[in-house]
Amino acid sequence: MYYKRHIFFCGNKKTNETGCGFLGVDESFGLAKEYLVKKDLWGEGKIRASKSGCLGRCADGPVCVVYPEGIWYTYVDMEDLTEIIENHIINGNIVNRLQI
């Protein structure tokens, strides 16, 4: 496997102004990347974050999905996102309260 874990942030801006791309995906992706880089966890054999096109979970947005587990999350703010990164992405523990 190229990455230990990979988190994808929905960046859909095509549906309407409520698509995930209008709900802070750039900030979310930026926070994830910065957080992982600072902890030296970014890159091949480690962890990666990416923006994606529509992930098809518009009613739950903003959303992200973590692979290889295929766990889907929704989040409200950067504190939620930090909890997902720290607990699941880094430590492998699913954050049940944010799971879709």
Domain boundaries, the chain: 5-98
Q: Which residues contact 10 (CB under 8 A, 6 or more apart)?
A: 19, 20, 21, 25, 52, 53, 54, 55, 57, 61, 62, 63, 64
**Window from 35-39, 48-52, 58-62, 70-74 with minimum mean pLDDT:** 58-62
What percent of the chain clears pLDDT 70, i.e. is strictly above it?
Answer: 95
Place of tokens 């699941």: 88
Q: Distance (Å, rounded) from C-alpha 48 to C-alpha 23?
A: 21
Kindly indicate whether the domain formed by 5-98 is annotated with CATH number 3.10.20.30: no
**How high does pLDDT run on average in the chain?**
90
Distance CA 85, CA 80 (A): 9
Q: What is the pLDDT of residue 15?
A: 61
Tokens found for residue 15: 């549906």
pLDDT at 17: 65
Report how far residue 4's alpha carbon sits from residue 68's, in angstroms, rounded to the nearest whole number. 8
Kindly indicate the confidence band of residue 35, based on its pLDDT and cuts at 50, 70 and 90.
very high
Ranges 12-16, 44-48, 53-57, most confident: 44-48
